[in-house]
Amino acid sequence: MTIRHRTYAELSSKDVSGLGEQVSAQTQRVAERLAGVRSCVAVMSGKGGVGKSLVSAALAAAMSRLGLRVGLLDADLVGPTAARLSGVSAPSLVISETGVEPPVSEAGVRVMSMDLLLEEGSPMAWREPDADSFVWRGTQERGALREFLADVKWGELDVLLLDLPPGTQRLVDLFELVPNLSGAVVVTIPTSASAVAVQRSIALARARGIPLLGIVENMAGYACDGCGQVGELFPGDAAERLSETHSVPVLARIPFDVAAGRAAESGSMGDLVSGTEAGGMILELARRLAEPLGLQALPAGEQP
């Protein structure tokens, strides 16, 4: 026998749990925090190992060098590196009821990364029941990303760069949290395997209506440490192919540069930008990226 009773919609009293309202309030917190941020740009790649985090950290330093106010959020929660690359070594973060102050790198970039919260060498793990973690783990990570966006005192920024992990899921999370995302920069290496993987991210971004600001081909050749001449490192022309197929401009081709590697190892993004072959190209990348974002960067030759 069917028991007849009223439905959810027919009950007029308030839903005290208001789970939907609680989720909406969370999204609203993100919007309020980012109200002073002129543009949010995702740096993404469908593939790991393309040097996306280094490009993100160097690009952030380069944009700062061009006189822009820059933040860098490491959205790679599992393999965070932005703090180390930016030379921000785990100070105690000042936290209050209104949020947490992000440390500022020597290059002037406001940085937040899971790297700053974890013990050295400690993997990111959550208090969890023994089984079925697949049910909630993605939600927990999305929650952590949301809190980094909403609870860090980003202040007034011209651009907040978001270094995404390999794959596509985090881009979806980000877009739901920041629907007015200014766009995405896609990083690839020259190989066809990379092109195939990156293509998936491009397709997803397109499907979601996220503007594609351009392609960066990293490790596009090897810059000799002695003479500076650039030779081939990987075969392929991924950036050009992706650009033609998807009508997205190639913003930069950055060679593998040992000097840049040394600067990255010591967390000196400022040195990387100002004193290396790759750094010059990243500065140019920063200048090109500022344009579609409507940001007023210092012209060539005028940066300090």
Partner 1 sequence: MKFLCVECDEQMMFEQRQLPGDGTLAATFRCPKCERVVAMLTNPMETQLVSSLGIKIGGREVPEQPLETIRSGLVGGREDAFEESEVPAGPVAWSQDAIDRLGIVPTFVRGMVKRIYADYAKENGIPEITPAVMDRARSDLGLEGM
- The C-alpha atoms of residue 77 and residue 54 are separated, in whole angstroms, by 15
Min CB(151)–partner 1 separation in Å: 4
H or E element: which one contains 217? strand 212-223
The helix-helix angle for 277-293 and 52-65 (nearest 10°) equals 70
Nearer to partner 1, 96 or 247 (CB): 96
Strands 37-44 and 230-231: unpaired
**How long, in residues, is the chain?**
304
Tell the smallest beta-carbon distance from residue 115 to partner 1 (Å).
Answer: 10
**Residue ranges in contact with partner 1 by CB under 8 A:** 3, 5-6, 8, 11-13, 15-19, 22-23, 25-26, 29, 90, 92-100, 116-119, 122-133, 135-137, 139-140, 143-144, 146-148, 151
- Using the minimum distance from each CB to partner 1, give the nearer residue, 92 or 247: 92
Cβ atoms < 10 Å from Cβ of 264? 25
- Residue 103: helix, strand or coil by DSSP? coil
- The least CB distance from residue 160 to partner 1, in Å, is 17
Query: Least distance to partner 1 from the beta carbon of 78, Å?
Result: 12
Least separation, in Å, of the C-beta of 86 and partner 1? 17
In the bound state with partner 1, the residue whose beta carbon lies nearer, of 135 and 227, is 135
Task: Indicate the burial class of 98 (C-beta count within 10 angstroms; 0-12, 13-18, 19 or more).
Answer: exposed
Contacts of 107 (CB under 8 A, 6+ apart): 60, 61, 64, 65, 86, 87, 269, 270, 273
Question: Strand pairing of 230-231 and 212-223?
Answer: antiparallel
The nearer residue to partner 1, 31 or 233, going by C-beta atoms, is: 31
17 or 180, CB closer to partner 1? 17
